[in-house]
Amino acid sequence: MQLFSKTIINWYKHNKRELPWRDVNNPYLIWISEIILQQTRVNQGMSYYLRFVARFPSVNKLAQSEQDEVLKYWQGLGYYSRARNLHKAAQQIMGEFNGVFPTEYSDVLKLAGVGVYTAAAICSFAYNQPYSVVDGNVYRVLSRFFGIATPIDSGVGVKEFARLAENVLDVLQPGLHNQALMEFGALQCVPVSPQCSLCPLISNCRAYELNLISSLPVKKQKVKVKERFFNYLFVEFEDKIFLKKRNEPDIWQNLYEFPLIEADQLLTVSELMGNEKFAALFSGIENVDIVGVSSPVKHVLTHRVIYTEFITIRISNKNKPLESYIQVPVAEIDKYAVSRLIEQFLEKL
């Protein structure tokens, strides 16, 4: 066990990437970087991280900001509940912890959106407390090196790997150990075709010995993917278009979007004209001209595929249903936080 940690830490000292959140012990910065990196690769996450901490350099600044602005800085990263939770947790720290980032693991765990993984990362990286971190990279290294085929997404597997991660943890330098193990999984013991011949663990690696590298780690669940069909209406009136905040507890909550007709398929223009919601939205408007329909877009999220078309419509006057939307000059749309799907449509205008 000791040799395992020692070897990985030694490898890390020679191979780690220089990253802006490395070698810092500010829990706020570690927290932000960990939440961003849970959903994106380091290269993509870097610019988001730098922009985010430049605008919100402290818990206090984040807590005082409007949620809309926080979401705007998160736009394109996806998993918007994480941004909402960051904002909420910052306010929690101001309200419940006198503005000081908590130092006890149990208190860190109370913050909105912080689970055992993030709490262990913050407490070990920032305070050098002996909590082991288990992320996807760690699962892969441990399952391969120790030759463990228990599914990592089963209750038994989660416990078994958590115990193992604790057993291999170097309690004298837990922060360094955890970062080394995660980096080792990210760069050396990669998911596909790791270069085992260059690996310092090769002589004791069970997966290498038993030729099990491509079958470890094991996952049991196939993620069920739900299909949804969004017919977005890009409605132009004079120099303005219409937006609404998604208030429902659903994907993209609190982001802005165009008038939406969700159906069980993408609608043709004639189906759209016969759609009740469409008719209600434009009732009493003299001229409703459909001036363009985009090609269908397939937008893939973790558990959903959203099929979308953007229908551009020009209207001659407004009515009551449209009054419930925000009217935004086209030039100012980018002040509003929108999904990546809508952002991509706007980029083509």
Q: How far is the CB of 136 from ligand SF4 (least distance, A)?
A: 14
- β-pairing, 226-237 vs 304-315, is parallel
Among 50, 149, 202, 349, binds ligand SF4 (CB under 6 A): 202
C-alpha distances out from residue 65 to 57, 236, 246, Å: 11, 31, 20
**What is the spatial distance between Cα 343 and Cα 341, in angstroms, rounded to a whole number?**
5
34 carries an active-site annotation? yes
Q: Which residue among 8, 111, 207, 235 contacts ligand SF4 (CB under 6 A)?
A: 207
Instruction: With beta carbons less than 8 A apart as the criterion, state whether 236 and 316 touch.
Output: no
73 vs 145, beta carbon nearer ligand SF4: 145
As measured in angstroms, the least distance from the Cβ of 189 to ligand SF4 is: 3
Shortest distance (Å) from residue 73 CB to ligand SF4: 36
CB 98 within 8 A of CB 108: no
Q: Please, what is the minimum distance in Å from the beta carbon of residue 49 to ligand SF4?
A: 28
Give the nearest distance from C-beta 178 to ligand SF4 in angstroms.
Answer: 17
User: Which of 279, 131, 160, 329 is CA-nearest to residue 151?
Assistant: 160
Distance CA 288, CA 294 (A): 17
Options 213, 233, 306, 337; binder of ligand SF4; rule CB under 6 A: 213
- Confirm or reject binding of residue 341 to ligand SF4 (CB under 6 A): no
What are the φ and ψ backbone dihedral angles of 201, each rounded to 5 degrees? -100, 5
Q: In the beta sheet, which residues pair with residue 236? A: 241, 314
Catalytically annotated residue among 34, 183, 257, 309 = 34
**Residue 13 is which amino acid?**
K
Q: 115-144: which residues touch ligand SF4 (CB under 6 A)?
A: 141, 144
The whole-angstrom separation of Cα 71 and Cα 75 is: 6
Stretch that binds ligand SF4, among 7-15, 92-100, 169-177, 204-212 (CB under 6 A): 204-212
Kindly report whether the peptide bond that precedes residue 57 is cis, defined as omega within 30 degrees of 0.
no
Tokens, residue 24: 């810092």
Half-sphere exposure of 70 (CA within 13 A, CB side): 26
Sign of the dihedral through C-alpha 340, 18, 133, 124: negative
Least CB distance from residue 183 to ligand SF4, whole Å?
Answer: 13
Told to check if 7 binds ligand SF4 by CB under 6 A, we report no
* Residue 205 binds ligand SF4 (CB under 6 A): yes
**168 is a site residue for ligand SF4 (CB under 6 A):** no
Q: Which is nearer to ligand SF4, 206 or 299 (CB)?
A: 206
The residue (of 205 and 315) whose beta carbon lies closer to ligand SF4 is 205
Site string for ligand SF4, 172-201 (x = CB under 6 A): ----------------xx----x-x--x-x
Residue type, 48: Y
Token pair of 119, please? 């709490």
How many residues sit close enough to ligand SF4 to count as binding (CB under 6 A)? Answer: 14
Q: Interface residues with ligand SF4 (CB under 6 A)?
A: 141, 144-145, 188-189, 194, 196, 199, 201-202, 205, 207-208, 213
Could you list the active site residues? 34
